[in-house]
Amino acid sequence: MDDSRFLIPGQTCWRVEQAGQFSVLIDGCDYYRALKRCILQAREQVLMIGWDFDTRIEFEPEGKTLEGPNKLGPFLNWLTETRPDLEVRLLRWNLGLWEALKRGETPLFLLRWMMGEEVHIRLDAAHPPAASHHQKFVVIDDALAFCGGIDLTKGRWDTREHLDRNPSRRSGRGAPLGPWHDATTCVDGEAAKALGDLGRIRWKRATGDELTAPESKHTLWPEDIEPTLTGVELGISRTMGAFDKYPETLEIETLTLKAIREARKTLYIESQYFASRRIAEAMIERLQEEDGPEIVVVTPESQAGWLEEKTMGSARAKLLSLVEKSDPHDRFRIYYPVTAKGTPIYVHAKIMAVDDRLLKIGSANLNNRSMGYDTECDISLEAGAEDGHLQRTITGVRNDLLAEHLGLSVEDVEKRLEEADGSIIAVIDSGREGRHLEPLPIRQLDAADEVMSEQEMLDPIRPFSLRRAIRRRIGL
């Protein structure tokens, strides 16, 4: 086995499969439209595996151009009514149901679907106590799949311009929403079939029912999406906390740590959270090296909601203080993106680009839950030493992300990187006009922050850690 490779089945990934076409979709606008276009071409089976689904979201909030209702719930009902032979199944996190009812979704939608009329929806509770089912992928006829970090729920839709105000960026009740940055992938071929297998495995684990794989063979690709690559091998990596008779699966953590250890010049990361001590310690080890890599993390300015900020935000502040004190060569930066007028853009994307050798996009954040407790799924592209085209693609995706955050063209980013001898930090820090990346200050922690940041209850490292934390809290 070649340990110089990042993608090693059974260690850093579940499977490596061929995709005839592969594309990276940045932000929700293109994804939502492409998803509906492809579901309209489904023949046998649509599997939607997710943390949450909001039946009120619009596929095309800027104006409907595709057949069928524009909102997710009415669209799926219309689809199954007009095509009764089509099997449509949704698997969502079990605790997400209460959030759906609280935010005002029509209970009749959910009740009707849970009764198995036309659309079949089931709740996934096959995970450790208080864990979440966090995978986000959709598979259509095993011919095409979308897999990444974008949920089909409130607030995920935005354009790459991230305008301060966009009337199409609204909640199910019509309230204006802030700018949101996210990412997913689109794959076909054997890679799509593998995700179909994963979806059916997950369905059986959650419900006990075994689904049949679709028999029809047809090609499927959204006509308005240009493939990033054709004829490429992709790795599928998972996290699953130990539960019942199922052992833990730590492929994503293993791959992430390997990527940090083997980065040569640049490690570019986008993550909603930065709260894993194990990941931070791996970064610190590299930062101690005289010729180690630059490490750039793009994250939200603050976490969503008081509780998340007191837990995940406080943990982030403590880890950042530790990392910055352990950066003698000044090669670590953490930023948050802002609009042209300075409005923070919420980062929900989960992306890692390692030099020109590895690109990973999926559902896993840099927090304890994603590394060993929740269910996660990431897609990775690896370039070997002789794969010049794949290497250019990986750096091209990274530079495209930088161009979006900096309000520049990709050509400008590439030119500035060349002038800065490849330093991403130098390019980011060279200007703060218009849309840009702002250095994230380390906020001071109060007494409540200190207490909450130390609790494993909300971001446990492993399932056994949760039980230990509960025992400590009740004095056992």
How many residues in the chain?
A: 476
Instruction: Give the C-alpha separation, 178 to 346, whole Å.
Output: 8
pLDDT tens for the chain, 476 residues long, are 456 899 999 999 999 999 999 999 999 999 999 999 999 999 999 999 999 999 999 999 999 999 999 999 999 999 999 999 999 999 999 876 556 555 555 556 666 666 666 799 998 999 998 899 999 999 999 999 999 999 999 999 999 999 999 999 998 888 999 999 999 999 999 999 999 999 999 999 999 999 999 998 899 999 999 999 999 999 999 999 999 999 999 999 999 999 999 999 999 999 999 989 999 999 999 999 999 999 999 999 976 554 454 456 567 888 888 998 999 999 999 999 999 999 999 999 999 999 999 999 999 999 999 999 999 999 999 999 999 999 999 999 999 999 999 999 999 999 999 999 999 999 999 988 899 999 998 766 554 444 444 545 556 666 654 444 444 433 33
| Sequence-separated (6 or more) residues with CB below 8 Å from residue 74 | 55
pTM metric for this prediction: 0.92
| Joined tokens for residue 307 | 């509780």
Place of tokens 């250095």: 439
The per-residue pLDDT for range 406-422, each reduced to its tens digit, is 999 999 999 999 999 99
| Residue 417 CB coordination number (10 Å) | 19
- 40: nearest Cα among 192, 225, 220: 220
Q: How far apart are CA 229 and CA 398, in angstroms?
A: 15
Q: Which domains does the chain have, with CATH numbers?
A: 22-230 (3.30.870.10), 233-439 (3.30.870.10)
Q: Taking CA 37 as the corner, what is the angle to CA 33 and CA 39, rounded to the nearest 5 degrees?
A: 115
C-alpha to C-alpha distance for 214 and 87, rounded to whole angstroms:
10
Distance CA 276, CA 182 (A): 21
Cα distance between residue 124 and residue 325, in whole Å: 42
pLDDT, tens only, 425-469: 999 999 888 999 999 987 665 544 444 445 455 566 666 544 444
Please report, as a single letter, which amino acid is at residue 274.
F
Distances (CA, A) of 138 to 47, 181, 198, 310: 6, 20, 11, 33
